[in-house]
């Protein structure tokens, strides 16, 4: 009886994802340990007294295991049933934090519960993902309609706006990853092209003088009108479209970007963006990125060996057990180790997409794609910022960076997906 139950308990679990999850978490623990451990430290003592990040992370891992077990034992229908409720609760929590939250490093996004700090912005990713899945899978939703699309986009962007108000821009940006899910569910591909063009536009607005850009836009517009003059003769609205694009780009470059930079973004964010673009050389602003690149670059091909990195172990890299945890891997294990480590993520992401595609229920598929998008966005931006490809925005490396909120959120994200996958024969709405 007992044995049969045990078999039942692990039945349906997707072992590749389970293995990759455990592998990445293990690397994370090793990395946090490497960033903190000093020769002569009493490891057991530190673990028992929870006075080191790695010992606390170990504790959070325990908590996460309990949460995972609870999720695994929960019926899948629970998640569809409570998705909207959880979303509403998450929004309330975000608003609550905005009111009474604790100010940590310039952002008001932390709740203090007992002795622990907790960041609801992490948790609302899960709620939003559930709510989005719930909405897209409901019978009334016709995602080909503009109205449905607007509702879906709003679901993703409302928490994003609140989080921006909390000054956690990095975490807020993560919500844009839901566009990937919506693309999968039918959002026109042209939007991705527009988004990409938008990024190019912003970058060029930052890099090139706005007057020169205006001239370039005008020249391109004139050329386009000249070459498509026959088409324009046939269809006058085409001219309006072209002129509209020209007007939008010009206004955007001439007014919106300068306005955003002076009024909306914080000084440090502007500086970070400028540093990344190579426009500014302020040593204080470049310090983090510079030290991080030195640490990773000095790892060489095979790395310095575990616990032998001089940069990460002697506090040259700031935030090295949280946002810059990848430095430890880069320095200790080199290019070789980094590629294997990134390979673990790629394998996880591709497996999640594989799992998503085998779902019968739209809810499960959307949810799984959401998980993939969030993990991908976090991983790509986090690693990019440590190697100077992206500005330093504080988002953690999933399952690796030190932090209870982050670890628990990603654990729950993945285990709900595993639960849904185990019940993929069911139709969930």
Summarize as ranges the residues that interact with another protein (CB under 8 A). 38-39, 180, 183-186, 189, 192, 291, 293-301, 310-311, 313-316, 330-331, 334-335, 338-339, 342, 345-346, 349-350, 353, 357, 369, 372, 376, 380, 383-384, 387-389
Cβ(427)–Cβ(360) below 8 Å: yes
Backbone phi and psi for residue 111, each to the nearest 5 degrees, phi listed first: -105, 140
Q: Which stretch of DSSP H or E encloses residue 58?
A: helix 53-73
* Nearest distance from C-beta of residue 189 to another protein, angstroms: 7
* Nearest distance from C-beta of residue 42 to another protein, angstroms: 17
- Cα–Cα separations (whole angstroms), residue 372 to 91, 129, 176, 313, 348: 22, 11, 13, 32, 8
Token match 């020209």: residue? 246
Q: Which stretch of DSSP H or E encloses residue 118?
A: strand 116-118
Nearest to another protein of 94, 152 (CB atom): 152
Nearest to another protein of 53, 109 (CB atom): 53
Nearest to another protein of 99, 283 (CB atom): 283
* Nearest distance from C-beta of residue 268 to another protein, angstroms: 20
Nearest to another protein of 273, 344 (CB atom): 344
Backbone phi and psi for residue 307, each to the nearest 5 degrees, phi listed first: 70, 15
Sheet holding 107-113, edge to edge: 102-104, 107-113, 116-118
* Nearest distance from C-beta of residue 316 to another protein, angstroms: 5
Q: What angle do CA 411, 379, 370 make, to 5 degrees?
A: 55
Q: What is the dihedral of CA 176, 177, 183, 184, to 10 degrees?
A: -160
Nearest to another protein of 244, 300 (CB atom): 300
Q: Is 104 helix (H, G, I), strand (E, B) or coil?
A: strand
d(CA 75, CA 182): 26
Q: Is 112 helix (H, G, I), strand (E, B) or coil?
A: strand
* Nearest distance from C-beta of residue 322 to another protein, angstroms: 16
* Nearest distance from C-beta of residue 250 to another protein, angstroms: 30
* Nearest distance from C-beta of residue 116 to another protein, angstroms: 28
Nearest to another protein of 228, 384 (CB atom): 384
* Nearest distance from C-beta of residue 389 to another protein, angstroms: 6
Nearest to another protein of 214, 354 (CB atom): 354
Residues with Cβ within 8 Å of residue 286, at least 6 apart in sequence: 275, 280
For residue 112, the cross-strand partners are 117
Nearest to another protein of 158, 380 (CB atom): 380
DSSP 253: I
């Amino acid at each position: 009886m007992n044995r049969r139950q045990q078999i039942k308990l692990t039945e349906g679990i997707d072992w590749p994802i389970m293995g990759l999850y455990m592998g990445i978490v293990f690397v994370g623990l090793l990395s946090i340990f490497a960033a903190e451990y000093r020769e002569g430290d009493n490891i057991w003592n530190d673990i028992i007294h929870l006075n080191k990040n790695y010992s606390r992370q170990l504790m959070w891992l325990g908590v996460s295991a309990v949460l995972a077990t609870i999720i695994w034992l929960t019926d899948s229908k629970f998640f569809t049933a409570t998705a909207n409720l959880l979303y509403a609760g998450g929004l309330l929590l975000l608003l609550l934090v905005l009111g009474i939250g604790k100010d940590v490093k310039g952002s008001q996004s932390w709740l203090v519960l007992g002795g622990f700090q907790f960041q609801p912005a992490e948790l609302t990713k899960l709620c939003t993902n559930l709510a989005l899945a719930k909405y897209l899978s409901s019978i009334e939703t016709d995602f080909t309609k503009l109205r449905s699309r607007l509702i879906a986009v709003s679901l993703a962007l409302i928490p994003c706006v609140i989080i921006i108000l909390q000054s956690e821009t990095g975490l807020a940006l993560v919500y844009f990853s839901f566009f990937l899910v919506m693309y999968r569910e039918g959002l026109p591909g042209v939007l991705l092209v527009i988004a990409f063009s938008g990024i190019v536009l912003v970058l060029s607005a930052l890099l090139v003088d706005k007057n020169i850009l205006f001239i370039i836009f005008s020249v391109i517009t004139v050329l386009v009108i000249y070459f498509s003059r026959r088409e324009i003769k046939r269809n006058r609205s085409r001219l309006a479209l072209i002129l509209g694009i020209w007007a939008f780009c010009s206004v955007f470059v001439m007014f919106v970007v300068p306005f955003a930079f002076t009024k909306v973004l914080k000084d440090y964010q502007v500086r970070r963006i400028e540093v990344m673009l190579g426009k500014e050389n302020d040593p204080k602003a470049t310090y983090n990125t510079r030290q991080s690149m030195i640490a990773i670059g000095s790892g060489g091909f095979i790395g310095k060996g575990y616990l032998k990195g001089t940069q990460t172990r002697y506090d040259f890299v700031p935030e090295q057990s949280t946002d810059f945890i990848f430095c430890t891997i880069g320095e200790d294990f080199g290019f070789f180790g980094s590629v294997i480590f990134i390979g673990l993520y790629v394998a996880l992401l591709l497996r999640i997409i594989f799992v998503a595609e085998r779902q019968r229920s739209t809810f499960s598929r959307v949810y799984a794609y959401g998980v993939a998008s969030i993990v991908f966005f976090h991983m790509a931006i986090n690693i990019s910022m440590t190697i100077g490809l992206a500005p330093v925005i504080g988002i953690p490396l999933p399952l690796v960076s030190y932090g209870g909120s982050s670890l628990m959120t990603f654990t729950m994200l993945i285990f709900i997906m595993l639960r849904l996958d185990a019940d993929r024969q069911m139709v969930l709405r």
